[in-house]
Amino acid sequence: MEDIFEHQIKKHIERLKENSFQDFITNLLVMKHGSQFTPIRQKKDKGCDGIIENRTVIAVYAPPKGGLREFKKKVADDYGLYLANWHSKYPNWCYVYNEPYTAEMIKCFDELDPSIEKWDINHVMNIFRELNWAKKRDMAARLGIDENYFINDILKNVVDDLIRSGAKDTILLKHKRPVYIEDKIELNFDNADIPAALTEYAEALPYLAELKNVLKSYPDGEIASLKSRVIVGFNKLSGDFKTKMNNLNEGLAERNKNDDIYKYYVRVVLIYFFEACLIGKKAEGEV
């Protein structure tokens, strides 16, 4: 099922037309392929909007309006330019379109050359999904999408990942009310680290509120599993509190440990459990 964030991305892409869509695809492929993608200037491009890995020429199409007849003519014209100017050096041709392809459109390609790569909006979305979280956030900002959609989506993904990879046996825990955070931070951090910990907590506050809303959509058993994984993982580590938090953050990020944005939101989850007094020393009077 498509989530709200991806739905927003898809709808914004579908609204891009002509040069705006080409600019988006150029940015997307630069993020995916880096130096292995060569953008081509829009003027005098001779039918080429970019080259992937020195093998595949792309042509991008997003008309303000039009029908099947216009589509067929444009594809045929663009393919003719590819054959005349690029085919001898670059063996692959890819057509990029910002809506779903119909059966008639697929037939149009196959009549020209069955080997033509056909990317419609669904393929474009698959490329977007493969980006790391920092690049996803950047692309969403370029599209003018409210960052709250991104925050909700990454928090949900973090929670899903932690639950999915957690232990089968869960520890059922009662909800504990948060205690005065300054007292708790002073109890758990060395004096030199207290200012930074207070700043980190203050910056995380808006995301903690969003995380609480995200967690409401999960069954109690899955939340118990998530709590268990965090608590058991924390208790297995050695060192002072700061070291244990940092190491747990790194360990829970797993395959995304090189994605700083993803790791930050794992940290938000840990701060949430710290605030709830499930990890770390408890302040006086905590129940």
Which residues neighbour 34 within 8 Å (Cβ) at sequence distance 6 or greater? none
So what's the pLDDT on residue 286?
57
Give the residue, 121 or 172, on which the prediction is more confident.
121
Mean pLDDT of 74-83: 93
* The amino acid at 27: N
Q: How far apart are CA 215 and CA 223, in angstroms?
A: 7
pLDDT reading at 224 higher than 70: yes
Per-residue pLDDT reduced to its tens digit, 135-181: 999 999 999 999 989 998 999 999 988 887 654 444 434 434 355 78
So what's the pLDDT on residue 119?
96
Any idea which residue has 């002509």 for tokens?
18
Q: How far apart are CA 239 and CA 221, in angstroms?
A: 30
Mean pLDDT of 63-89: 90
So what's the pLDDT on residue 285?
58
So what's the pLDDT on residue 126?
95
Q: How far apart are CA 153 and CA 3, in angstroms?
A: 8
Q: In this structure, which topology does domain 4-142 adopt according to CATH?
A: Rossmann fold (3.40.50)
Using pLDDT thresholds of 50, 70 and 90, give the confidence band for residue 79: very high
Q: How far apart are CA 196 and CA 213, in angstroms?
A: 26
Mean pLDDT of 26-52: 87
Q: Read off the DSSP letter of residue 97.
A: E
How many whole angstroms from its chain centre is CA 2? 13
Q: How far apart are CA 25 and CA 140, in angstroms?
A: 13
Sheet strands (E) in 148-237: none
Using pLDDT thresholds of 50, 70 and 90, give the confidence band for residue 45: low
So what's the pLDDT on residue 256?
83
Q: Read off the DSSP letter of residue 131.
A: S
pLDDT reading at 2 higher than 80: no
For CATH 3.40.50, the residue range(s) in the chain are 4-142
Per-residue pLDDT reduced to its tens digit, 185-201: 999 999 999 999 999 99
Strand-pair partners of 97: 61
* The amino acid at 223: I
Using pLDDT thresholds of 50, 70 and 90, give the confidence band for residue 67: confident
Q: How far apart are CA 34 and CA 81, in angstroms?
A: 26
pLDDT reading at 202 higher than 60: yes
The answer to whether 179 and 282 have CB atoms below 8 angstroms apart is yes
So what's the pLDDT on residue 182?
87
